[in-house]
Structure 1
Amino acid sequence: MTQVGYIRVSTTDQKTDRQLDKVELDHVYEEKASASTSKRPVLEECLRFLRKGDTLHVHSIDRLARNLSDLLSLLEILTGKGVAVRFHKESLTFTGEDNPFQTLQLQIIGAVAQFEREIIKERQREGIAKAQAKGKHCGRKAKLTPEQVQEIKDKVAAGSEKKALAEEYGVSRQTLYRVLSS
C-alpha cells in the first residue's frame, strides 16, 4: 500500500509547499498546470503509477478537478482500480464503496468548485471588457508592428520567399501567413 501525493497549482509562480506538507508520502507528483482540463501530463503519469491498495492524497478537491464531470470521472477511474482517494481539506476519503452521503458531499463540493471556476472566468471577462472600453490592450503584444506588416506584404508582392521573411522578422511561418491573410 503506497501513499501517493498529487499536488497542483495553476501557474508557475504559485507555491506548492502548503499542500500535503505534514502528510507522509512514498511518492509525490507535483504539477503546475490549470485544472480546467483533465489532460495534465503529471496527473496522467500519477494515474499510471497507482495500483490496487494505494491511497492518493490530494490537498483539496479543486486541486484534482475544477468541474464536476472531470472529478467524478477521475474518482471512478481511481476507485475502479482499487485506489482510495483522500481529500485532506474536506476530510473525505473515497474508496468506491457505495456511500450515499459521501457521494452527496462530493457532488456538492464538486459543483461548488465548478461554480467558483465559472465565476472567476466571468470576472476575468468583465475585467477585460472594462479595460478594452478604456482603450487598453489586453492579451499578448503583437509580434509585428503595422509598418512591418506592410513591409512584409510589399515584399511578398515583389516575390520574396515567405520562409525567408519569417526568419528575417523573427516570427513563425504561421504568424506570417496569418498577417498576410488579414
Structure 2
Amino acid sequence: MLVGYARTSTAEQAAGLEAQQRDLSAAGCGRVFSEQASSVGSRAELVRAMDFVREGDTLVVTKIDRLARSTIHLWDIVRDLDMKGVSLRVLNLGGEMVDTRSATGRLILNIFAGFAQFEREMMLERQKEGIAKAKAEGRYTGRKPSARLKADDARRLHAEGKTVTEIAKALGIGRASVYRALETAPGTA
C-alpha cells in the first residue's frame, strides 16, 4: 500500500498542503496523513503514518523537506522504515521520483538530502546576516514583549485573588511571566 505524508509549517501555507495532498492522491496513495506543523516541533501525523505503515508498504512524500529536518533525521526515518520492511518514495527529487528499495534510489536520496540540508543552512545563515544588518541600521527591534505589556493586568488580577494559573490562562501568557510581573510590582524592588 502507498501511504502519503504531507506537511506545511503554517496555516498560511494551506495551498501548499492541498497541492501535496493532490499529488499524493494522484500517485496512488490509499491513505494520506496531513498536518500543519513545524519541522522542528512534534509531528503527530508523521508518528501516526509511521505507526500505520506495514511490511511491504511505501511511505510517499512530495519532497524531502516535508519529511525530515536534516540528513541525519532523514536516515533515522529511513532506518525505522527499513526495520518495518517499508520503503520511502520521494515524488519530486530534482524532477525524478526516487524509491529507497534500490541502491541507486538510496544513493540519489542521500545526495539530494545533503543538498537540501546545505540549502537550509545557507538560508538560515542569510537570515541571521539580514537580522544583524537590520539591527545595526536600527530597523529591527524583534518581537514585542507581549507579557510585559500585560504586567499591570497580572498584578490587578492577583490583587483580586486570582491564582497564578488563572491569571496566565486569562491573559494568554505563561506562568513564569505572571511570576515576573508580580516580582516587579512597583515598590518591591
Correspondence for 2:148 among 130, 140, 144: 144
**Conserved? CA contact 1:86–1:94, under 8 Å:** yes
Q: Corresponding residue for 1:35? A: 39
**Conserved? CA contact 1:162–1:176, under 8 Å:** no
SS of 1:177 mapped into structure 2: helix
* Larger relative helix fraction: 2
Q: Corresponding residue for 2:163? A: 163
Q: Corresponding residue for 1:77? A: 80
C-alpha distance in structure 1 between counterparts of 2:150 and 2:39, whole Å: 37
CA spacing shift, 1:129–1:61, aligned 2, 3 Å? same
SS of 1:139 mapped into structure 2: coil
Amino acid of the structure 2 residue aligned with 1:174: A
CA spacing shift, 1:145–1:66, aligned 2, 3 Å? closer
Amino acid of the structure 2 residue aligned with 1:51: R
**Conserved? CA contact 2:63–2:90, under 8 Å:** yes
Count of aligned residue pairs for this structure pair? 173
SS of 1:73 mapped into structure 2: helix
Q: Corresponding residue for 1:24? A: 28
**Conserved? CA contact 1:87–1:93, under 8 Å:** yes
Normalising by the residue count of structure 1, what TM-score does the alignment of the two structures yield?
A: 0.78
C-alpha distance in structure 2 between counterparts of 1:71 and 1:102, whole Å: 14
User: After alignment, is 18-27 or 61-70 more displaced?
Assistant: 18-27
Provide, for residues 63-102 of structure 1, a one-character-per-residue CA deviation record: whole Å limited to 9, x for no partner: 111201000010011122111211111211012x6x2x43
Normalising by the residue count of structure 2, what TM-score does the alignment of the two structures yield?
A: 0.75
1:176 aligned to 2:175? no
C-alpha distance in structure 2 between counterparts of 1:56 and 1:165, whole Å: 42
TM-align CA RMSD: 3.2
**Conserved? CA contact 2:164–2:178, under 8 Å:** no
SS of 2:10 mapped into structure 1: coil
CA spacing shift, 1:108–1:128, aligned 2, 3 Å? same
Amino acid of the structure 2 residue aligned with 1:175: S
Provide, for residues 18-70 of structure 1, a one-character-per-residue CA deviation record: whole Å limited to 9, x for no partner: 22252222100011112235x41110010000000111111011111120100
For structure 2, the 5+ residue unaligned runs are 185-189
CA spacing shift, 1:106–1:147, aligned 2, 3 Å? closer
Provide, for residues 114-164 of structure 1, a one-character-per-residue CA deviation record: whole Å limited to 9, x for no partner: 112212222222233333331532124423339839x94xx99xx886836
1:55 aligned to 2:58? yes
CA spacing shift, 1:94–1:181, aligned 2, 3 Å? farther
Q: How far apart are 1:180 and its partner, in Å?
A: 5.0
For structure 1, the 5+ residue unaligned runs are none
